[in-house]
A = this chain, B = another copy of it.
Amino acid sequence: MSSETAPPAERATGPGSRGRYPKGVKRRQEILDRAIEVFAEVGFEGASLRAVGEAIGVSHAALRRYFATREELFLEVLREKDRQAIAEARGRDDSRLGLAESLDDYRSTVPGLMALRHSMVARALELGNERSRDFFRTRYASLRAEALSTLLLAREAGVVRADIPLEAAAALLIATLDGLSTQWLLDPGVDIHGGIVLLERLLEPAPAPR
């Protein structure tokens, strides 16, 4: 049952708590950063704990002082990338849908990291990997919530049809980004941008009557 072996610096990253281990969190962040680089280079399968450790100049066993398991390290990498993406996304929030920008976010990540995300989602779908499952379930939930609020604004601004259920539309938006990216990753000839703008157009209120 793997009953809670109490990983050291688990939830000790909050800034305003009691006593911290400044050395510890710093090292942890360093591992995270180097791990991202390794993923970007060799992808998910190539990024063994030993490979990551070697890139830092540390044995693979040492990594487990900061990340209880390989899966945990992977999830933390994704969390970190999400944080970075959110930080970059600030400041360009208008009432437009802005799907093209979301797409650029998606694509800006190096190929290795895109593969990482896909591999992690796949793992989350497997039996057993509850941690990954929970992570992605809440991640997609918040993605949908974010899309929903954007859609609400867009509808008020009049750029989205008023007769469609926005919850379904939100799920549809996220699904489109995911699915088109998959096809584009497999075959760069696929016009992913065309698919995005098509969906954006389909959501618009009235097709110009002529």
A residues near B (Cβ < 8 Å) are: 42-46, 111-112, 114-115, 118-119, 121-128, 133, 136-137, 140-141, 144, 161, 163-165, 167-169, 171-172, 174-180, 182-183, 185-187, 190-192, 194-195, 197-199, 201-203, 206-207
Contacts and interface: CB of A to CB of B under 8 A. Distances in A.
Contacts of A144: 183
A198 B172 contact: yes
B179 A195 contact: no
Contacts of A172: 176, 180, 195, 198-199
Contacts of A202: 164, 199, 202-203
Given A46-B127, A123-B45, A177 B174 contact: no
Number of copies: 2
Contact of A171 (B125, B141, B183): B183
A172 to B, nearest CB: 5
A177 B199 CA distance: 14
B122 A44 contact: yes
A118, A125, A202, A207 — which one has the most chain B CB atoms within 10 A of its CB? A125
30 contacts: A43-B126, A44-B126, A46-B126, A46-B127, A111-B125, A118-B122, A118-B125, A119-B119, A119-B123, A119-B125, A121-B182, A125-B182, A125-B186, A136-B186, A137-B186, A140-B182, A167-B194, A168-B197, A168-B198, A171-B180, A171-B183, A171-B192, A171-B194, A172-B180, A172-B195, A175-B195, A176-B176, A176-B179, A202-B203, A206-B207
